[in-house]
A and B are shown apart, each in its own frame.
Chain A
């Protein structure tokens, strides 16, 4: 079975493939001639999946753009508006705040997630006894239903709940009303989200660190480098493709934060924790303005696309693929 292991570091290959603009397809000792002649089987095999993606991913993007140009009620006939929905969004202070909240969430959440996951991954070296148990523990909330996670944290944050109760009994001071206080609410959502979300990156970074060849770190140690230097100068560089990819996925998913504010705060107090996807949901399916919701979704799409492109452009400075 060892023969059938995938080629090295496949995971960083998604990033590499996209960024270099070409897919690595050749396997060693497999010249094209041997692969046989071109037949119609290839396209035929790819067709069902491709058709599905076209209908359920590419088409909706186009449809979304069309809908965003209409006043489109949930039921009833749409009427053409042109750029009216976009104009409305750009002049709506609530939407501005929603975008700002989302950006604030991303700015707080992504670095925290990366630091915690990288730190724990570095800590859980193969020398740690029972490391796979720790890995599984830290991964639990990544896999349990988000709604259940959020409901549990709703109770932790409750005045009189676990955090408040613990604080009162140990220090005699009541905790702030985390979810009802606009200074605390976003922080509460971020903390809950980090708890829930860092398990993925931790596993990925941990595997990448395991793959760092020992002779490199040993050589550095003989040259007098200490653990700290080895980590920053050698390991971090070698796992940079994983960090890049983890950062990108975390960024993309964090822009879509929904269930946490939806259940913890309903976007409140005021609209201090309302996010773009929560706004899309409310406009579309509470106020039945699908056109406006679509326009907001397109703005979110463009933001995410922009961030991704910037990431890809910036990666040349710090990501090393050929290690």
Chain B
């Protein structure tokens, strides 16, 4: 207890010109020590990824060296070449891009409309319906895969892209996020549009939607990432991995076949992570905002 007291004093209540010079010295050094520890924690946290990256360039014979080394005797770019030869990772990326982009587009469209309906339009049963929407957020995807698979069988969608795209585009997360945004838009904007003779549809499309762009961006990022990383459902519904597989599916299959070729597996892992890492670095602001406003994003 005493220690924490002395830690907070210098920052708030300590008078100028302290009486105990020794204490001032520790007070100055302590945050620095804390900072070093924080950096070490971050480094330790990153070590699996650093290790992955390092291993992906090592010659196969040097992977399990004791002690573990960061660099091998040579820098083996061929690992990536070989991994790409074993599995069409570029096609998986293309497939993932197609599925994620289409799913995201669908999500954006339906969520924009419903978010608007739940915030700025008055209709009977609105709040009840919105409650039902929110309640569906508590239903995990995983418990739905069996019936979803049977439904896909009935409509002949097993082993198709639309089976990957359509079923998960209707998450209530989108409606929630956009409703939240539209609630904050001043009513004067609607009125002004109406005075200018715009109907509901035009007000929505030409006035409201452009305003909602930042929120739509947040939703788009999350939707894209959750499609891109989705694993269990593609595993169930896609049989033809070589042609229709996405990155997680391809990596899992690659691991199943070449599991002991760790240099290749790590190269494949780097390839799998690269697009999302890039997205994270470029769009970190949107991501943080989406999580902070909803607490859901992509979960």
Closest residue to A303 on the B side, CB-wise? B143
Instruction: Verify B4–A140 contact, CB threshold 8 A.
Output: no
Interface range on chain A: under 10, 10 to 19, 20 to 34, or 35 or more? 35 or more
Instruction: Verify A148–B4 contact, CB threshold 8 A.
Output: no
Query: Which residues of chain A come closer than 8 Å to B142, judged between CB atoms?
Result: 256, 258, 277, 280, 297, 300
Minimum CB–CB distance from B123 to chain A (whole Å) comes to 3
28 A-B contact pairs sorted by A residue (CB < 8 Å): A4-B184, A6-B184, A14-B134, A21-B131, A23-B130, A30-B187, A35-B122, A42-B123, A42-B126, A49-B174, A50-B114, A56-B148, A57-B136, A59-B147, A61-B139, A136-B284, A137-B45, A143-B225, A143-B229, A143-B276, A151-B255, A151-B268, A155-B265, A221-B13, A245-B295, A280-B146, A293-B146, A308-B138
Instruction: Verify A290–B149 contact, CB threshold 8 A.
Output: yes
The residue from B113, B181, B268 contacting A49, defined by CB atoms under 8 A apart: B113
Asked whether any CB of chain A lies closer than 8 Å to the CB of B217, the reply is: no
Asked whether any CB of chain A lies closer than 8 Å to the CB of B116, the reply is: yes
Closest residue to B138 on the A side, CB-wise? A308
The residue from A13, A38, A56, A228 contacting B167, defined by CB atoms under 8 A apart: A56
Stretch of B18-26, B63-71, B79-87 contacting A (4+ beta carbons < 8 Å)? B63-71
Asked whether any CB of chain A lies closer than 8 Å to the CB of B232, the reply is: yes
Minimum CB–CB distance from B253 to chain A (whole Å) comes to 10
| Chain A, 10-43, CB within 8 A of any chain B CB | 10-11, 13-14, 17-18, 21-23, 25, 27, 29-30, 32, 34-43
Instruction: Verify A60–B148 contact, CB threshold 8 A.
Output: yes
Q: How far is the CA of A285 from the CA of B38 in the complex (A)?
A: 45
Asked whether any CB of chain A lies closer than 8 Å to the CB of B288, the reply is: yes
Asked whether any CB of chain B lies closer than 8 Å to the CB of A144, the reply is: yes
Asked whether any CB of chain B lies closer than 8 Å to the CB of A304, the reply is: yes
Asked whether any CB of chain A lies closer than 8 Å to the CB of B231, the reply is: yes
Instruction: Verify A145–B122 contact, CB threshold 8 A.
Output: no
B55, B167, B288: most-surrounded residue (chain A CB, <10 A): B288
Given the interface contacts A6-B293, A152-B49, A155-B266, does A18 sit within 8 Å of B147 by beta carbon? no
Query: Which residues of chain B come closer than 8 Å to A158, judged between CB atoms?
Result: 64, 262
Q: How far is the CA of A58 from the CA of B292 in the complex (A)?
A: 28
Asked whether any CB of chain B lies closer than 8 Å to the CB of A86, the reply is: no
Asked whether any CB of chain B lies closer than 8 Å to the CB of A48, the reply is: yes
| Chain A, 287-309, CB within 8 A of any chain B CB | 290, 293-294, 297-298, 300-301, 304-305, 308
Minimum CB–CB distance from A2 to chain B (whole Å) comes to 10
Instruction: Verify A203–B292 contact, CB threshold 8 A.
Output: yes
Given the interface contacts A39-B200, A148-B272, A277-B232, does A256 sit within 8 Å of B293 by beta carbon? no
Asked whether any CB of chain A lies closer than 8 Å to the CB of B1, the reply is: yes
Given the interface contacts A203-B288, A221-B13, does A4 sit within 8 Å of B185 by beta carbon? yes
Asked whether any CB of chain B lies closer than 8 Å to the CB of A45, the reply is: yes
Instruction: Verify B187–A64 contact, CB threshold 8 A.
Output: no
- Additional pairs, 12, CB under 8 Å, beyond known A11-B295, A53-B170, A137-B46: A14-B176, A14-B295, A17-B134, A21-B131, A48-B110, A136-B281, A147-B229, A147-B252, A165-B64, A285-B149, A290-B149, A300-B142
Q: How far is the CA of A153 from the CA of B280 in the complex (A)?
A: 21
Q: How far is the CA of A42 from the CA of B131 in the complex (A)?
A: 16
